[in-house]
Amino acid sequence: MGDFNQNLSGVENNSEDKKFNFIVKILVIIAVILIIVAAIVIFSVFSDKDIDTVNKSTTKAINKSIKPSSPPAGNSPTNNPPMPPGNNTIPPGLPPVQPNGSLNNTIPPVPPAGNSSCIPSCTNRECGPNGCGSVCGTCSSGYVCNQTGKCIVVPEQEDMQDISLKSTAINNVSLQEIQQALGQNPSEGKIITLGSYTFTLISLGTTPDGKNIWGLSFIGTSGTEYAIVLPPPNFDKTKPLPIYKKINEDWIILASPTPPSPPSG
């Protein structure tokens, strides 16, 4: 019996020891958790202070770098208010800075390039100005634009005298002399001399009834080739002879042929 009681007492003591050890472990775990939490809080507080210090230093450096310079002599601060912190360059087209450092809310519209309300006037015109600062079109090489907006062919300036002299020479020759120079069977490329000038006979096309339109070609001072149409029967010699200019292998009639001088006699 005594042994049983002793064993029972030992079991109870072991049970109490286990409970005590369990409570001690719980307390140790709680203490460790509290220490970890305290360490996190302390680290967070010191980190926030460091960040705040860095932010303040950075802000101070930025404000110092963008601090507006002193106004030049003769200008009062009222006329030249300081710019607010930040970008102190006003983009073109924005209103001036107000005394309180703010910009006007209303930004004037940027005017379009040119006169947008102008309506081009190009009716029956293929070239020349359109009345709005541009053109209705441009002429091809060898053509010029006249005052009515048409692309026309005119002689080269240095060829004007050649054209006038040769037109006058042909106009002063009688039709009989021209026929004699042409011969019975005129052919393209034939060399013909009229007055003191030599020409080459060429065909400029045909009439509606199928007859050749003959022309006498020559090379002007500029190196440009021209052709003066042979006067048909009953041609009014007081009128200018049609004259063609060769452009890119095509014969184009001049807009204003040079009128020959009236025939003498």
CA distance 46 to 58: 18
Mean per-residue pLDDT over the chain, rounded: 74
Most confident of 26-35, 74-83, 107-116: 26-35
Per-residue pLDDT band for 223 (boundaries 50, 70, 90) equals very high
pLDDT of 218 > 70? The answer is yes
Q: Is the pLDDT of residue 81 over 60?
A: no
For 15-51, b/e burial (b = at least 16 CB within 10 A) is eeeeeeeeeeeeeeeeeeeeeeeeeeeeeeeeeeeee
**pLDDT at position 13 over 60:** yes
More confident residue, 62 or 14: 14
Spatial distance between the Cα atoms of 162 and 221, rounded to a whole number of angstroms: 7
Q: Is the pLDDT of residue 91 over 60?
A: no
Better pLDDT: 177 or 202: 202
Per domain, the residue ranges of the chain are 1-43, 115-152, 157-253
Give the per-residue pLDDT at 226: 93
Where does the pLDDT of residue 48 fall: very low under 50, low under 70, confident under 90, or very high at 90 and above? low
